[in-house]
Structure formats: C-alpha cells, structure tokens
Amino acid sequence: MSKLPFKVVAVDMDGTFMRDDQTFDHKRFDRVLTKLRADGGHFIVSSGRPYPRLRRDFTGFLDRIDMIADNGSLLIQDEQIISTHLLTHRATLDLIRFIQEHYPESSMIVTGVEDSYTTVDASPNFKQIMNFYYPDRVEVSDLIAAISPHNRITKITLSYRKDFSKELEQEFNKHHAEKIHCTSSGFGLLDIVPYSVNKGSAIEYFLRYFDVKPSKLIAFGDGMNDKEMLELAGYSYAMANGEPELKKVAKYEAPSNNDDGVLQILDSYLNK
C-alpha cells in the first residue's frame, strides 16, 4: 500500500456516509478504519446529528473515531466532549420568540447537551423525523417556560418548505448583539447555531490538535452545511446525490450514499 495523500478523513452522515435506510456496511467500514489507522490516519464523523444519536450509530467504533455533533457545536474525542459552543439562555429565548413570530408554520426542536425539547403541537411529520434523531426528547406545551438557564443549548432546528436560512440569520442578527448562523441540511430542516460555528471551524480545531495541515484533509458531504468543511479540505468530495451548489465547491464527485460512495473512494486510496 502506498502512503496515503491525506491524514484526516471527515464525513457527513445523512446523504453522505449513511444510506437512505439509515445503515452502513459495518464490516467494510471496520476494514477501512483499520487500514487508515495503521497508516496513522484519523476518522472524524462531522454531522448535524446530536451526540446521543451518533453514539448509537457508531456502537463498536467509538474508541477509533472522533466526532463533531450538532453541526460543530460539540466536539468529541475518546468518547469525551472536548469543546462546546453554546447559545446563551437569553439568545435561545430571543430566537424562540423570533421564530414563533416570523415563522409560525415551522416546527421546532431546541437541542441541549443533556436534554432536547419540542412542542406537543409540532407537526406529525416533524415528530416522526425527530423520533429517530431525538428518541429521548421532551415534548412541552411552552418552550419558553421549559428551558432554564441551566440547559446547555447547542442548536435550534426548524422544519421548512422553502429554505429561509439566510433571511432568518440576517434579520435576527440585525437586532441582536449575540449573532447566530443558520444552515440548511437539504432535508427540509434548518439548523441555528452560534455565529462562528460550522463544520469547517470544528475540523480546523481537530487539525490543530493533530498537527495536520488542511491539505492533508479529505472530506465528504452532500449539503450546504458541508460547504465550509469541503472548502477547507485538500481533497473534497461531493456525493453524486449531493446538492448542485455543493458540487460547485467540491473538487471531486463520489458515488452516491446508497452506493457506499465514501467507502468506495477510501478503499480506492487505501488499496493502491
């Protein structure tokens, strides 16, 4: 095996590493991970998914991978949270009020390190999706009343029919000192996180820790919340099923998530 041209692998989950049926090839991933680590490489899962969901997804692999959860708000290494980027209590309440006033048609879930909250009257479709990502979420009648200063809030997720992430970010930031960043997953969900938080900045944290240059990063994504991560990477791949705008950012294209495109590409490098 020739020496790999990269030292760090970063992969998105939905639409990228994970098939549409929420599975991946565990045996093949084990082989890829073993070869990668033998060459001194690192594997980072970089996702909008919450940490408890990612722990379930990668049971059996947790001691061999690092994680970025909530689109960069939580960084995990050796099964320990090593960095958090949180919305303050005041900003969280201001955001909830702003969303309720300007986007009342959107269902909402407020994600915390320990607990996550949605409303009893959230749409049935939204609840069905959240059953997978947040099986232990708490349903409440009033989000404002339910969230206390002790909750460590990492992000707020909204449903949408038409992406209004740029509009929401601009309008909220005009009138609030604590700025926020909005990004679309491309699956009818929109995430709101602290202003400087994104997958790219989270990956940079890990690269500094590993003492690896961005030119030695290979990254895979399918949606615009992967944009900063792919822009950073020396080897950037958009999935065949990815958003057209992301394909303009990426240097290369990988086969679709349902064809195990990430593992195909990694295999091609590891078996040279």
Same-domain pairing of 190 and 98: yes
Distance CA 30, CA 51 (A): 21
Residues 162 and 183 in one domain: yes
Number of structural domains the chain divides into: 2
Note whether 139 and 179 are same-domain residues. Answer: yes
Same domain as 181, residue 150 = yes
Please tell me whether residues 208 and 75 are part of one structural domain: yes
Question: What is the pLDDT at residue 1?
Answer: 43
Q: Could you tell me if 155 and 61 lie in one domain? A: no
Residues 47 and 135 in one domain: no
Of 163, 194, 225, the residue that ends a domain is 194
> Looking at 176, 194, 212, which one is the last position of a domain?
194
pLDDT at 181: 94
CA nearest 122: which of 159, 77, 73, 87?
159
Sign of CA dihedral 44, 49, 55, 57: negative
CATH code, domain carrying 52: 3.40.50.1000
Q: Domain range for residue 93?
A: 89-194
Confirm whether 1 is domain-assigned: no
Q: 201 and 78 in one domain?
A: yes
pTM exceeds 0.75, yes or no: yes
Claim to verify: residue 119 and residue 178 sit in the same structural domain = yes
Contact 261, 255 (CB under 8 A): yes
**Residue 188: which CATH number?**
3.30.1240.10
- For residues 118 and 174, membership in a common domain is answered with yes
Low-confidence ranges of the chain (pLDDT < 70): 1-2
